[in-house]
Amino acid sequence: MLGTFGRWLGIGKAIVPVAYSNTPTPLPESPFPVSLSNPAEITVNVSITQNAPVLQPEIYPTYTPYPTYTPYPTYTSYPVQATATPTPIYNLSLGIPDPGITAWQDVKVKVSYYWPPLCEGITKDDPYSVNCDWIIQPDGTYLPDIAHVSTGHSWLGYEGKWIACPVEWPIGSLVKVDGYVFRCSDRGGAIVKDTDGAYWIDLLYPRFPDGWYWGRLFDAQVWIIDN
């Protein structure tokens, strides 16, 4: 057949010829949607609506705000610690230089000793209370004065050089006993002239010197200061 080609297809046992046409089938005409007489009048009658993408808002992470810190407290500066009073270094040498006096008077003395630091922290009824002077407080109590002798002078530096003397010998008088010269610088309630005529003297010293003991009798000399 002219203008056709045949193809044989086998369906079962029957052979059916299939014919194809190579002549295009014209499409039905449709009016152009715009006027072509004036290009300026070309309009698009079909509106195209383009949906804009909906933008999702960016979600930023929620941060915990920085905490409000309490300002550093103002610290009170450390108080200046009081420097501990150093333990005094005592001069335990005995006597003062011999002044070369010739007007000595011979006397007999009995010796004892006292040491004011022994009074620290004790009361007046303590046996060691004889070692120091006592200050009467407004409330009638007594406070030991461990730093001064009865004249009000500090004894530090004069240990082994000062003695308490009986009232018959003025302050400043000198006593020579056992080869040492001592200065009368203090008084004492028991430092008196004894019934046997001997005078008690009390050496400001932490212990008895070698060979001394309480109440030992010495032949001594005294120089009475002329006030």
Look up the domain containing 209 and give its range: 105-223
Model pTM score: 0.60
In a domain, 6, yes or no: no
34-83 pLDDT per residue, tens: 555 555 555 555 555 556 566 666 676 676 666 666 666 665 665 655 55
pLDDT digits over 196-218, tens only? 999 999 999 999 999 999 999 99
87 part of a folded domain:
no
Asked if residue 26 belongs to a domain, the reply is: no
pLDDT of residue 2: 44
Taking only the tens place, the pLDDT of each residue in 169-201 is 999 999 999 999 999 999 988 999 999 999 999
Res 1 pLDDT > 90: no
157 vs 11 pLDDT, higher one: 157
Q: What is the DSSP string of 90-151?
A: ------B--------EEEEEEEEEE-GGGGTT--TTSGGGGGSEEEE-TTS-EEEE-SB-TT
pLDDT of residue 5: 42
Number of domains into which the chain is organized: 1
